[in-house]
Amino acid sequence: MDYAEFQDADSHTQQSLEVVDGRAHRAVVTRKKTGHRVAIIGGGILCVALAVFTIYFVRNFAESHIHNGKQLTEADVLPNTTLTVAQSNNTRLEGQFVVDDEELQVSFDFLSSVQDDSQLDSNMVSFMTTTTAAATLLSGWKGFTMSSENDAQEITLNFYQFSSDTPTSVIVMHPDVVLSQNDEDTLGNAFSSLMGKYFVELSVKLGAHGVIGANSPPAVVLYNFAKWVDQFVQSGPYGANWDDLDSEVEKANEVVKVLKDPLKNSHRRLAGSCAISNTCGNSCYGMCGAGCSCWSWVCGDCGCWGGCKEHDYYCSCEGMTSFWCINVFWVTCY
């Protein structure tokens, strides 16, 4: 090998050696280069290991240790309430929700069911107290049911008072029928009571319990109707004097963050197919939640979801009392 060949083979070496010495020197340089490559590879492995550790730290420590280092759990969200889920599958979500009020303990049975091809369940949302002593606290409202017929082209809302075992108010809605003022007042009076507030709190508690709507069609229905109740009575003239739920919603969102793989079985929205916008006076158009209050448990996070975006169209652009805004049996996470 002459000098020129040696210079091409190792351009970093500025030596002028004879052939014999060049061979000897070549061997030394090769060993040095090999050691240099090993150092680079070792450094790369170390960087990857540090990156993995950093991601693990952020996800499992930084996100879960909040509020002065305390990891939030379901018990920290609405601590005066307890939840028992008796059944949860693709068509049915039911259980018991208990509120420990300052005056007494109020128990509610809840149900959300959706119809599938087997038609074993019907489209239904029900929230009914079993505590007869709560009549005064709940302004006489015992609970409600909402059901749909004819492929969700008709919904019926039944409202129950403690004075009767049969519905005291019945509202039937169709897509082409405008809600009457009398029916609107019934909705406002019933849902602005503590019965309506506790129904909204049930949604928050279920989220903290780990029931993510993206994995549960009946949960999506219950959550979106609770969202409608919250927005309807807070924005309307019905004077709902509820305690601010923002802090409890925040805590529920933190619990959802640290759930292990909350979207494991969901049909996640396609990237870029949905974007939050300011549309029809709604600056958080497309995000799941009441107004700009993110309810991450509805579909899994605070991003834009197609089902919530469609529902926002009917509620924000057509109005809170439009048929497809109140009727939520069609809403899904996509």
- pTM, to two decimals: 0.78
The CB density around residue 27, as the number of other CB atoms within 10 Å, is 10
pLDDT of residue 196: 95
- So what's the pLDDT on residue 184? 95
The rounded average pLDDT for each run of 10 residues, N- to C-terminus, in the chain (334 residues) is 42 40 40 45 50 41 48 94 96 97 92 79 92 95 91 91 95 93 95 95 97 95 97 80 83 86 51 84 95 94 95 96 96 94
Count of beta carbons in the 10 Å neighbourhood of residue 270: 9
Parent domain of 26: 3-62
User: Is 116 contained in some domain?
Assistant: yes
Domain membership of residue 68 (yes or no) is: no
pLDDT tens, position by position, 206-224: 999 999 999 999 999 999 9
Tell me, yes or no, whether 334 lies in a domain.
no
115 plus 9 within the same structural domain: no
Q: Are residues 93 and 149 in the same domain?
A: yes
**125 and 263 together in one domain:** yes
Question: Distance between CA 262 and CA 102 in Å, rounded?
Answer: 34
Say what the pLDDT of residue 3 is.
Answer: 39
Instruction: Please say whether the beta carbons of 223 and 203 come within 8 A.
Output: yes
User: Does some domain include residue 67?
Assistant: no
Q: Give yes or no: residues 195 and 274 share one domain.
A: yes
Please state whether 129 falls in left (phi above 0), alpha (psi between -120 and 50) or beta: beta
What pLDDT is recorded for position 70?
73
Residues 47 and 155 in one domain: no
Domain shared by 15 and 142, yes or no: no
Q: What is the pLDDT of residue 43?
A: 53
Q: Do residues 13 and 80 share a domain? A: no
Which of 62, 87, 105 represents a domain boundary (last residue)?
Answer: 62
**How many distinct structural domains can be found in the chain?**
2
Is residue 252 domain-shared with residue 302, that is, in the same domain? yes
Please give the pLDDT value at position 116. 75
Q: Are residues 110 and 14 in the same domain?
A: no
